[in-house]
Amino acid sequence: MWGRQHGTVVGVVDVGSNTVRLLVTRGERTILTEREMLHLGADVERRGEISPEKLALVAELVGRYAADARAAGAVALEVLIASPGRQARNGEVLRELLSAASGAPTRILSAAEEGRLAFAGALAAGAPPARRPVAVVDVGGGSAQVVVGTRRDGPLWSRSIDIGAQRLTSRLLSADPPGRAAVWRARLEVERYLTHVAPPPVHAGFAVGGSARGLKRIVGGRLGEEELEDALAVLAVTSAAEVSKQYGMKLERAQTLTAGCAILAGLQRTLGTPLKVVRAGLREGVLAELTAETLAA
């Protein structure tokens, strides 16, 4: 694994459609982790941009996370903005505010970069055979990425789907519980986005991100067709509060989990292989790159 041979402390702030997360590591050891749900993607879906109130909240939070990372010993820190930066009309305003608040390099990830970094992080954790093609699926709040490649050659094929768990929830699954009819409509919406997605054959599949981790609590770490259908059947008729209580997850995660499950079910069928849930993903991919850059400097 990438970090066994050094003690460099590095950090990343990941600004997503649902959640803002801080992760600080030394090699493979987590030094500090923090997270808060701000639902920036709900603003983007409703208004087409992030409201001034949310801009102020996220700037204050990222500034605090940057200070916490440095206090924990981080010698390198980067702020990454995922789909909110790409989808909001004022994405560049968001980037400038977070750069000033954090005092750290801040960039809006392209969909291709987001997929590549998730692929790198997942494969570091999953350790598939070097030459066998595998898929990594990352369902976020505002978009979903699917990348196919190998450990040896890296990503060879990728697509970004412009629908994520927060956006689909806001659009079609806002009732609590959503009900079977709404879930059916949401699945049709997902299929519309997947019409022209035709990935190459893969040996195995990995799922990263909060939706995948939430579903692991309900049906286990293998997300095949049967498991995802079972999860959707439960989520369609169970309130978010009951899901949160019964399966030990945050209420905010439970509120978007039905949408995340519908997207993962569509991607799993498209790939034709079960998805193994792995914890590592985009942030771990970024930290591996930051560590290599810091050691090379």
**Mean pLDDT of each 10-residue bin along the chain, 297 residues long:** 60 92 89 93 90 97 98 95 92 97 95 86 71 92 92 91 92 95 98 96 92 96 97 97 96 95 98 91 78 72
Q: Residues near 173 by Cβ (< 8 Å), separated by ≥ 6? A: 182, 183, 186, 258, 259, 262
Per-residue tokens: 192:
């519309």
| Calpha distance 165→93 (Å, rounded) | 24
The CA angle 16-263-205, to the nearest 5 degrees, is 90
Look at residues 124, 56, 122, 131 and name the one whose alpha carbon lies nearest to residue 94.
56
Q: What are the start-end ranges of the E strands in 115-223?
A: 134-139, 144-150, 154-161, 204-208, 222-223
CATH 1.10.287.3510 fits 128-277, yes or no: no
Confidence (pLDDT) at 128: 67
Q: Where in the chain is the domain with CATH 3.30.420.150?
A: 128-277
- CA distance to 65, 66, 242, per residue, from 34 (Å): 8, 11, 25
Could you tell me if 134 and 148 are in contact, meaning their C-beta atoms sit under 8 angstroms apart?
A: yes
pLDDT at 151: 85
Phi, psi dihedrals of residue 149, rounded to the nearest 5°: -175, -165
User: CATH for 9-109?
Assistant: 3.30.420.40
pLDDT score, position 277: 94
